[in-house]
Amino acid sequence: MAYHKNCEGMTRRDCLQLGVSFLAGGSFVNLLRLQGIAAEVSTPAKTPARCILIWMDGGPTHFETFDPKPDAPAEIRGEFTPIRTKIPGIHFSQHMTRLAGIADKLAIVRSVCHNQGNHGAGNHYMMTGTPTRIPVGCGAFVSFHPSMGSVAAYERGAPEGLPAYFSLPQMSRSGGPNFLGAKYAPFVVSDDPSRDNFRVRDVALPAGLTDDRFHKRRDLRQLVDRFERITDEQAADPVPAMDEYYRQGYNLMTSPAAQKAFDIHSEPDTVRDRYGRNGFGQRALLARRLVEAGVPFVTLYDGGWDHHSEIFTGLPKKLPPFENAIATLIEDLEERGMLDTTLVVALGEFGRTPKISQLAGRKTPGRDHWANAMSIMFAGAGTPGGQVVGATDRNGHSACERILAPENFVSTVYRKMGIDPGKIYQTPQGRPVHLVTNPEPIAELMG
């Protein structure tokens, strides 16, 4: 499995060493064990919209994606040329051909900005709608507030036989539940669905264990469970709680809904080829299968967007399969009658600097962190397509028209999902916390 590093050298393996493995991809049984610690909460009635959040970790360049600046000086405009989209007057950058062809289905927000110019703080702000309480380092794995995915799991609940929140193939550093508790952490599918031997850990039976042996082990466990429990009030018997964890794990392994959702090999070859026979493309297809099964929130994590160098040599290879998978996902959802009830969003923690730079020790030019401007793509869930919301100045330096904040972005996602961003939650300590301090969504996207 590849590990994508940001400029501070932080990888998912580092996160595991920091003791957060249960949030970044621990086994399902371990996740269930931690769920027992979480406070019991009620789940409101379900609403139709689900969300696939495409997280471009590292901070994607707005210049080379959705906001090209052909009239800027050479040291700003870069090496790519703008291309026309399906909508007259709207241009994307050179390697965004597939998305340009379906621009009538997209809304591009070019004017979200904030003041958190490092990965840790920027990631937290865009994933939660809440800035960090204290200054944090660029490489911090930060959690001061529940992420959108965890809130969706808390508010919407899980479909029968499946968790409510998935993250593929790993969790973003601020994609966790914070005070909501580990019950609302994402279920991470780290395996690569583009491989022939793809199987989801803790969903498929272990190799060499037949159905018959599996059921016999369950029956033996039930027999042992009939023994008298520890009754000493001073002694904490862990077995009853573990019974629940194993029951849920067993149910997941035997859940027809789970088995069907993860059976990506049942998809026609034409569909799999259309998404692209690569890790990101097949994860996008798996995300579609999960929301089709009723999962309210799926994060598609894609690393490698921290282009301090190799921006003009790396993106011609990275962008075509990436944007092809997104375009195919949107088209596939529409063909299946699901786009009206599925929100697709693509973004990272910030944009990139207007001036192209070449850092010491780097062979080729790149762009550095820039929180004054960024682009976010929306599609589906009633979002009016064929529009650009807001603008940056001639040089892509700053948002200058319809200036918006991360709070507006997150509130939009919540409103689309039927969640009130103006809610006030109570922490386990009884402290009231605003879900989003400014609960105003982006009106142009609400339809």
pLDDT top residue among 211 and 94: 94
Could you tell me if residue 238 is inside a domain? no
Does residue 66 register a pLDDT over 80?
Answer: yes
Section 91-106 average pLDDT: 98
Does residue 233 sit within a domain? Answer: no
Q: What is the pLDDT of residue 133?
A: 78
Write the pLDDT tens digit of every residue in 170-228: 999 999 999 999 999 999 999 999 999 998 876 665 555 555 554 544 554 454 444 44
- Predicted TM-score of the model (pTM): 0.84
CA distance 334 to 105: 10
Per the domain annotation, does 239 fall within a domain?
Answer: no
Residue 91 CA to residue 391 CA, distance in Å, equals 13
- 317 domain residue, yes or no: yes
Is the pLDDT at 418 greater than 80? The verdict is yes
Total count of domains within the chain: 1
Tokens for 287, please give them. 């995300």
pLDDT for res 249:
56
Q: Considering the domain boundaries, does residue 226 fall inside one?
A: no
Say yes or no to pLDDT of 41 above 90. Answer: no
Amino acid letter, residue 280:
F
Average confidence score pLDDT of the chain: 84
Are 60 and 305 within 8 A, CB to CB?
Answer: yes
Give me the pLDDT at residue 233, please.
42
Residue 27 or 131, more confident: 131
Please name the residues in contact with 363: beta carbons below 8 A apart, sequence gap of 6 or more. Answer: 309, 310
Residue 366 pLDDT exceeds 60? yes
- Comparing CA positions, the residue from 45, 51, 58 lying closest to residue 5 is 58
Determine, yes or no, domain membership for 219.
no
pLDDT at 199: 84
The reply to whether 313 falls in a domain is: yes
Q: When comparing pLDDT for 27 and 53, which is higher?
A: 53
What does the alpha-carbon distance between residue 60 and residue 67 come to, in Å, rounded to a whole number? 11
Nearest to 292 by CA among 258, 319, 254, 316: 258
Task: Provide the residue range defining the domain that includes 308.
Answer: 12-198+256-445
CB 315 within 8 A of CB 62: no
* DSSP single-letter state for residue 357: B
Q: Is 225 inside a domain boundary?
A: no
Residue in this structure with the two tokens 């790993």, named with its chain if needed: 170
Mean pLDDT of 387-414: 98
> Residue 105 belongs to a domain with what CATH number?
3.40.720.10
| pLDDT of the residue at 240 | 47
